[in-house]
C-alpha cells in the first residue's frame, strides 16, 4: 500500500516540477530569443548589437552587405573586400586569432567561421561574448546564414532584402538554362593549383556554380577538393577550364602552366581557347558574392545566353 502511494506522490512531484519548468522557459523565452548557428550552438541574440568582429573574409562581406560596416570593429588580415574592410582593426588570421585583441575591442557579437579553432569559440563564449559560427555548405545555406546574421545583428529587414535579391538572381540563371539538354551542357574543370592538379569535385561551391550555370563538372564523381593525375585530366578532356587567380601575389602560375605546357594542347578547352581565369576571392568565399560567382560561371559556360565573360583584375 505504502509503495503505491509513494509512486503516486512522486508522480505529482514530477508533474509540478515539469509544469514549473515549462512556465519558466516560456517566460524566459519571451524575453531573450536564441538562434541556432551552423555548428549546432544555440546563441542568444545580443542587445544592443553595436560592436561586431568578423573572423573570416566572407563574414566581413556579409556584414558590409547588411550595411553594418560602421559597426564592424575587428576583421582578419585576409579581409580585403569591400575596400573599407582593409582599414578595420585586425584581430588575427583565419585560424590564428589574437584573443586579447578580441576581448579588448569589447564586441557584442563575434562572427566566427569553420576555420576558427573551436577552442577560440569556446573561450570567447566562456568570457560572456556572443559568438555565432557560420559554416555554410551550399548557396542556399549562405543565404540562410545571411538572413540569420541579419536577425542576430538587428538588421533583419536588410537581411530579408538581400536574401530576396540573391534568390532572384539565382532564379534568373536557373530559368535561362533550364531548357538545355545534357548535350548542351559543356564539361568544366576548375583548377585551383597545378602542382599537383588541384580541383573541386562534388559537394563544393564550385560544383554548385558549374551545375546551376548549365555546365557539368568533369570531376563530379569525386568529392570535395582533390588532387588528380595529369593523365586523368587529359583523358577527361574538359570543354572549359576555369583557373583560380589570386590578384596581387603573382598568382597566375597555374594559368601560365595551362597555356605553356605543350602536352596540354590535346585538351579541348585549351585548343578552343576556353581557359578562363577567375578571381579566387569571389569563387571561394561563402558570402553575398556567391551570386556574382554564379553569374561569372553562367557567362563563362553560356556566353550566348548571358553575354561574354570579362575577367577583371
Partner 1 sequence: MENMSIKNKKRLIYPGLLILVLGSIFLAQGFGGGRYQISDSLSLFSSSTLSPSERIILFEIRLPRVILSFLVGGSLSLGGAALQGVFQNPLVDPYVLGISSGAALGAVIAILSGVYLGFFTIPLFAFSMALFSAFLVFHLGKVGKKFPLEVLLLAGIGVGFFFSALVSLGMFLAGEDLHQLIFWTMGGFWNSSWREVKMVLPFLIVGLPVLVSFSRELNAFLLGEKVAESLGVEVEKVKKWLLLVVSLLVASAVAVSGVIGFVGLVVPHLIRLLGIRDHRHLLPFSFLLGGGVLLWADTLARTILNPVELPVGIITNLLGVPFFIYLLQKRKRNP
- Please give the residue ranges that form the binding site for partner 1 (CB under 8 A): 77-78, 93, 192-198, 219, 222, 226-232, 234-235, 237, 246, 249-253, 256-257, 260-261, 263, 266, 280
User: Considering the complex, what minimum distance in angstroms separates the CB of residue 226 from partner 1?
Assistant: 5
C-alpha separations of 140 from 89, 102, 144, 287 in Å: 31, 30, 6, 11
User: Considering the complex, what minimum distance in angstroms separates the CB of residue 96 from partner 1?
Assistant: 8
Cα–Cα distance for residue pair 68/192, rounded to 1 Å = 32
Indicate the residue among 88 and 285 with the shorter CB distance to partner 1: 285
Indicate the residue among 140 and 232 with the shorter CB distance to partner 1: 232
Question: 578547352: which residue's cell?
Answer: 269
Indicate the residue among 51 and 268 with the shorter CB distance to partner 1: 268
User: Considering the complex, what minimum distance in angstroms separates the CB of residue 179 from partner 1?
Assistant: 32
User: Considering the complex, what minimum distance in angstroms separates the CB of residue 210 from partner 1?
Assistant: 18
Name the DSSP letter for residue 228.
E
User: Considering the complex, what minimum distance in angstroms separates the CB of residue 172 from partner 1?
Assistant: 31
292 class by beta-carbon count within 10 Å (0-12 exposed, 13-18 middle, 19+ buried): middle
Indicate the residue among 41 and 78 with the shorter CB distance to partner 1: 78
What are the DSSP E strand ranges found in the chain? 34-36, 42-44, 52-54, 72-74, 109-113, 130-134, 187-194, 197-200, 216-217, 225-228, 240-245, 275-279
Indicate the residue among 67 and 227 with the shorter CB distance to partner 1: 227
Amino acid at each position: 500500500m505504502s509503495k503505491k502511494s509513494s509512486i503516486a506522490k512522486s508522480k505529482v512531484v514530477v508533474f509540478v516540477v515539469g509544469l514549473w519548468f515549462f512556465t519558466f522557459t516560456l517566460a524566459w523565452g519571451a524575453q531573450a530569443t536564441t538562434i541556432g548557428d551552423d555548428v549546432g550552438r544555440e546563441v542568444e541574440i545580443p542587445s544592443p548589437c553595436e560592436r561586431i568582429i568578423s573572423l573570416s573574409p566572407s563574414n566581413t562581406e556579409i556584414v558590409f552587405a547588411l550595411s553594418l560596416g560602421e559597426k564592424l570593429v575587428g576583421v582578419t588580415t585576409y579581409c580585403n573586400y569591400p575596400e573599407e574592410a582593409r582599414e578595420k582593426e585586425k584581430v588575427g588570421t583565419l585560424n590564428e586569432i589574437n584573443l586579447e585583441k578580441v576581448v579588448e575591442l569589447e564586441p557584442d557579437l563575434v562572427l566566427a567561421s569553420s576555420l576558427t579553432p573551436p577552442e577560440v569559440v569556446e573561450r570567447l563564449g566562456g568570457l560572456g561574448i556572443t559568438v555565432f559560427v557560420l559554416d555554410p555548405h551550399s548557396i542556399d545555406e549562405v543565404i540562410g546564414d545571411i538572413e540569420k546574421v541579419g536577425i542576430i545583428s538587428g538588421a533583419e529587414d536588410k537581411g530579408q532584402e538581400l536574401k530576396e535579391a540573391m534568390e532572384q538572381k539565382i532564379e534568373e540563371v536557373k530559368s535561362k538554362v533550364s531548357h538545355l539538354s545534357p548535350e548542351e551542357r559543356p564539361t568544366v574543370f576548375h583548377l585551383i593549383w597545378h602542382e599537383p592538379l588541384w580541383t573541386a569535385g562534388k559537394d563544393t561551391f564550385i560544383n554548385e556554380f558549374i551545375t546551376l550555370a548549365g555546365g557539368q563538372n568533369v570531376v563530379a564523381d569525386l568529392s570535395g577538393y582533390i588532387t588528380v593525375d595529369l593523365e586523368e585530366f587529359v583523358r577527361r578532356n574538359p570543354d572549359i577550364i576555369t583557373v583560380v587567380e589570386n590578384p596581387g601575389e603573382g598568382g597566375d602560375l597555374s594559368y601560365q602552366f595551362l597555356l605553356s605546357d605543350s602536352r596540354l594542347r590535346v585538351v579541348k578547352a585549351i585548343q578552343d581557347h576556353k581557359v578562363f581565369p577567375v578571381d579566387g576571392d569571389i569563387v571561394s568565399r561563402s558570402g553575398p558574392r556567391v551570386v556574382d560567382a554564379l553569374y561569372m560561371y553562367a557567362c563563362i559556360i553560356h556566353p550566348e545566353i548571358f553575354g561574354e565573360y570579362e575577367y577583371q583584375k
